[in-house]
Structure 1
Amino acid sequence: MDNSTAFDFFTGTYDVVNRWRTDFLDPAEGADRWEEFPGVTRASVHFDGRASFDEITFPTKDFAGLTLRLYDPAADAWSLYWASKRTGTLFPPVTGRFGTDGTGVFRGDDEHDGRRIRARFIWSEITENSAHWEQAFSVDGEQTWITNWHMHFTRRPA
């Protein structure tokens, strides 16, 4: 996989099944702590594949967000920036790359509910018509991770 165009797969419109913890930092497992809801993503690539952009809406949640992904050739790494319609601000980036197995891992510093955290995004299970994204937070310097959001993307037919 050419890391510089690794997000080329992510173009078009996707139906998204979201599943998130009702408390992003609660380490306890339990189905009653998770909530599922739909989303729709419209994604595109730019700069000959070295930039990726998508907007996602969550119709039952009354919010939306967007992600800008930029490839840095000197570092051979991607920076992923998230912005929420609720706040109108750009969150700090997570940076990383795709491995030879096709899985992308991206990490960065952030804050959640006033607590300093490390954030991790993982892109995996990428096919021509689907992909999986997950988010996890660490409050102990990456010794442990609390996975708190999954998105399963299914491409809509053109």
Structure 2
Amino acid sequence: MTRSPIHDFDFLFGHWEVEHRRLTSRGVGSDDWDVSHGTAFTEPRMGGITNVEQHDCSERGWRGVALRTLDLTTGEWSIYWISDRDGRLSPPVVGRFHDDGCRLEGPDLDGERPILARFEWSRVNTDTPHWAQHFSYDDGRTWELNWAMKFRRTA
């Protein structure tokens, strides 16, 4: 029996402690990482075809929300991000799940610089899933990891 993609993000529902690793400077070959900690909460909406995840990172003074929507025709997920740092709803990354996670990609801007953005979820069958964001500044020929999150479920 094939599992419905409506349940792809069920692993993420609930409360989490999150370790954030972010490059201090993107797109310049930096290897200087800033590490901070925060919390997240994810819950489904509309029978599972959408879900909302809120992040609070008081150590660095920001909050953000991920909105995920499932296209019932294609089975692909779209993820939109908004942060209280700029209030801008980012263009979506789009993709689908495979055995141990998913990859989603789409065009965006890093400041004024056009990029391709890639989100990857892994370890989704554990209590410690990982998320990573990569940017490509050269139409997908190379990718730079610039943000990674390690989730740990809380009670």
Q: Identify the TM-score tier after normalising by the shorter chain.
A: over 0.9
- SS of 1:130's partner is coil
The residue correspondences of 1:88-107 to structure 2 (distance < 5 A) are 88-99=87-98, 101-107=99-105
Q: Displacement of 1:45 after TM fit?
A: 1.1
- In the alignment of these two chains, the number of paired residues is 153
Q: How does 1:1-158 map to 2 (within 5 A)?
A: 1-28=3-30, 30=31, 33-99=32-98, 101-157=99-155
The answer to which structure, 1 or 2, has the higher relative contact order (CA under 8 A, 6+ apart) is 1
**How far off its partner does 1:127 sit?**
3.0
Q: Which runs of 5+ in 1 are unaligned?
A: none
TM-score by length of 2: 0.94
1:68-119 superposed Cα distances (whole Å, 9 cap, x missing partner): 00000111100000001111121100000001x2220000100012100000
Q: CA deviation at 1:60?
A: 1.1
CA distance in 2, matches of 1:68, 1:152: 19
Distance 1:47 1:113 in 2: 34
After superposing on structure 2, the runs of 4+ consecutive aligned residues of structure 1 that deviate more than 3 Å are none
Instruction: Report the identity percentage.
Output: 33
Q: 1:128 deviation in Å?
A: 4.4
Contact 1:51 1:70 in 2 (8 A): yes
C-alpha RMSD over aligned residues = 1.2
The amino acid that maps onto 1:94 is V
- Which amino acid counterpart does residue 111 of structure 1 have in structure 2? L
Please list every run of 5 or more consecutive structure 2 residues that lacks an aligned counterpart in the other structure: none
Cα distance in 2, alignment partners of residues 77 and 89 from structure 1: 23
